[in-house]
Amino acid sequence: MQVKRNVLLNPGPATTTDSVKLAQVVPDICPREKEFGDLMDYCATEITKFVGDPREYTTVMFGGSGTATVEAILSSVVPENGRILIIDNGAYGKRMCQITKIYKLDTVVFDSSSIEPIDLIALEDVIKGEKGLTHLAMIHHETTTGLLNDISAVGKLCSTYNISFIVDSMSGFAAIPVDMKAMHIDYLAASSNKNIQGMAGIGFAICNRIALLGTEAIPMRNLYLNLFAQHAYFEKTHQTRFTPPVQTFYALKQAIIETKEETIANRYARYTKSWETLLVGLEEMGLEYLIDKAYHSKIITSIIEPKNDKYNFEEMHDFFFEKGFTIYPGKVNNFDTFRISNIGQIDYTDIQNFLQVLKEYLRKIDHL
Ligand SMILES: Cc1ncc(COP(=O)(O)O)c(C=O)c1O
């Protein structure tokens, strides 16, 4: 069976293989059966192996989107007398601040440019000046703009100042290499529907086992999202506490198998080739992008909208959509941009086809 192929240029859920889509068509099964527990165990272990040694790190999974996992980590690991510093350089850093505000966690916000690298000297000064910091949270790849944050450097600071390090790598994980131990990361958030190329519906928190065990005594701030409770129940029973998205797990297993076959390094090389193709095409058309190549994720590109009275994002979106491409609006307040992501089961030839359609659109509005 072949499923109609759409080229999704939004930053996930991404274009998937037919084998991942079809992996969801399985006999009905109760998720409390051992067979399903084994499937979840396989997914958790293999996800851990992408970023760390399963003897030292473990993956806690939740039915929910990526935000659920970020919320699970932030609400579960900061003790009552804890203090968290959040680096805010885009919409997803802001979302972390929103979460800690809702949970009334003692939070210090480090504002940083949404288009330039983090000033590590200024950050260290804040870390030194703010007393009692126990945690630091940041985004790996700010999907808002395509800015790649230097988590290695921040991890080093966390290690120096004995601060537990939390990273949201939603749109970095499974493409941009991460080594949790070398980068001093205790908690890493990711989800099933971005670079891992599975279906939406499962969030993972990959945790340093020792750090996670240390959260057992923290009073639960919620029921569903508590990290330690979810971990402890799964360790004991090989089941999740609440109903998991059953079929999504079958798709995730297939997506993991395909990621291992391709390897993360080759996947990132494929994404990089698509991104390079995109930049060459944009430059040919005289279009500019927001983030400098030197600190670009190579995963999503914020393109400055053409200055033309006839330009209209919605119309451009519909023009593309009719031809099987999904493009994405911008998300940065001060800049008029639209975004093109090159993740998922697509390659540079899809980007060449996208560029052809972009040319057609720009000619239609008399911009070329
Ligand atoms: C860096 C980052 N964090 C969090 C999220 C939120 O994920 P979700 O929309 O699955 O809740 C996203 C989504 O794009 C993201 O890119």
pLDDT of residue 333: 72
For 38-64, how does the pLDDT look when each residue is reduced to its tens digit (9 = 90+)?
A: 999 999 999 999 999 999 999 999 999
CA 214 and chain centroid, separation: 26
CA 362 and chain centroid, separation: 31
Query: Measured between alpha carbons, how far is 274 from 269 in angstroms, rounded to an integer?
Result: 9
pLDDT of residue 296: 98
Neighbours of 302 (CB within 10 A): 27
Question: Ligand 1 atom 15: the closest Cα is on which residue?
Answer: 170
Question: Ligand 1 atom 7: the closest Cα is on which residue?
Answer: 66
Question: Ligand 1 atom 12: the closest Cα is on which residue?
Answer: 170
Residue 339 marked ligand-binding: yes
pLDDT of residue 280: 98
Which residues in 193-231 are b (16+ Cβ under 10 Å) and which e?
A: bbbbbbbbbbbbbbbbbebbeebeebeebeeebbbbbbb
Please compute Rg for the chain using Cα positions. 21
Report the residue among 9, 141, 143, 187 best suited for mutation to probe ligand 1: largest number of ligand atoms under 8 A from its CB.
143
pLDDT of residue 87: 98
- Nearest atom in ligand 1 to 191's CA: 10
The residues spanned by each domain of the chain are 22-261, 264-364
Identical fold, 22-261 and 264-364: no
CATH of 22-261, one of 3.40.50.300, 3.40.640.10, 3.40.50.720, 1.10.510.10: 3.40.640.10
Choose among 36, 38, 14, 66: nearest CA to 258.
14
Strands (E), the chain: 7-8, 57-63, 84-88, 107-111, 135-139, 141-142, 147-148, 164-168, 187-191, 202-208, 300-304, 325-326, 328-329, 337-341
Query: Measured between alpha carbons, how far is 84 from 165 in angstroms, rounded to an integer?
Result: 10
Q: How far is the CA of 146 from the centre of ligand 1 (A)?
A: 13
Region 334-357: mean pLDDT is 96
At the top level of CATH, which class does the domain 264-364 belong to?
Answer: alpha beta
CB 190 within 8 A of CB 169: yes
Q: How far is the CA of 66 from the centre of ligand 1 (A)?
A: 5
Region 339-356: mean pLDDT is 98
Report the residue among 148, 191, 332 best suited for mutation to probe ligand 1: largest number of ligand atoms under 8 A from its CB.
191
pLDDT of residue 258: 98
Mind spelling out the 3-state secondary structure of 81-125? CCCEEEEECCHHHHHHHHHHHHCCCCEEEEECCCCCCCCHHHHHH
Beta strands 107-111 and 84-88 are parallel
Question: In which element (H, E) is residue 254 found?
Answer: helix 246-262
Residues lining ligand 1, judged by CB closer than 6 Å? Answer: 11, 65-67, 70, 92, 139, 143, 168, 170-171, 191
Question: Ligand 1 atom 16: the closest Cα is on which residue?
Answer: 143
Percent residues over pLDDT 90 in the chain: 98
For 165-218, how does the pLDDT look when each residue is reduced to its tens digit (9 = 90+)?
A: 999 999 999 999 999 999 999 999 999 999 999 999 999 999 999 999 999 999
Q: How far is the CA of 68 from the centre of ligand 1 (A)?
A: 9
Query: Mean pLDDT over all residues of the chain?
Result: 97
Q: How far is the CA of 308 from the centre of ligand 1 (A)?
A: 31
Question: Ligand 1 atom 2: the closest Cα is on which residue?
Answer: 170
For 111-130, how does the pLDDT look when each residue is reduced to its tens digit (9 = 90+)?
A: 999 999 999 999 999 999 99
CB proximity list for 88: less than 8 A, separation 6 or greater: 94, 96, 97, 109, 110, 111, 112
For 224-261, how does the pLDDT look when each residue is reduced to its tens digit (9 = 90+)?
A: 999 999 999 999 999 999 999 999 999 999 999 999 99
pLDDT of residue 332: 75
Structure tokens at 6: 């759409």
